[in-house]
């Protein structure tokens, strides 16, 4: 299951996702499996510095994809944590969100409404799936017209 790694991450890093026993996390981890290693490494790094370098215990509020990049909302943390988050965000623009492959640049149509960082293979699969969906909608509409229904 896709949500298993997200749940496991939250359980492993309770200090980051729960503050004084209360959940601070809103939403879910809303991004693809390809960014999993990046997010896991970032959480490990932040927690390591809290435990070993006296960094302030911050809290993760939200993790998601936005405009083809990772958004990692973190509050009350150290500058070292924020620097690591900025570095991970910059890396996310070069990592396929679906499979984790390296991407030279964001593979998206600049006119597209929804922008994602995808490798050529995942982009092709996404386009193919979208075309099949549009073809199915067109077939249904054509069938309705033949049956005489508006």
pLDDT-derived band at 114 (thresholds 50, 70, 90) equals low
**Into how many domains does the chain fold?**
1
3-state secondary structure of 145: helix
Average pLDDT over residues 65-70: 92
Claim: this prediction has a pTM higher than 0.85: no
Quick one: how far is CA 123 from the chain centroid? 16
Question: What CA–CA distances, in Å, run from 70 to 32, 129, 134?
Answer: 10, 24, 29
pLDDT per residue as tens digits for the range 15-43: 898 866 666 666 678 899 999 999 999 99
Ranges assigned E (strand) in 47-118: 59-66, 69-75
Query: Does 66 score more than 70 pLDDT?
Result: yes
pLDDT of residue 112: 58
pLDDT of residue 1: 45
Structural domain of 25:
2-147
């Amino acid at each position: 299951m896709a949500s298993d790694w997200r749940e496991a991450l939250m359980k492993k890093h309770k200090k980051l996702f729960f503050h004084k026993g209360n959940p601070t996390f809103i939403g879910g981890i809303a991004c693809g499996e390809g960014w999993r290693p990046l997010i896991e490494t970032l959480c490990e790094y932040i927690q390591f510095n809290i435990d070993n370098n006296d960094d302030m215990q911050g809290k993760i509020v939200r993790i998601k994809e936005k405009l083809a990049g990772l958004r990692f909302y973190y509050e009350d943390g150290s500058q070292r944590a924020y620097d690591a988050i900025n570095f991970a965000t910059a890396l996310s623009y070069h990592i396929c969100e679906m499979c984790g492959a390296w991407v030279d640049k964001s593979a998206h149509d600049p006119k597209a409404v929804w922008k994602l960082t995808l490798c050529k293979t995942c982009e092709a699969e996404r386009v193919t799936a979208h075309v099949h969906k549009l073809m199915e909608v067109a077939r249904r509409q054509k069938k309705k017209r033949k049956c005489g229904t508006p």
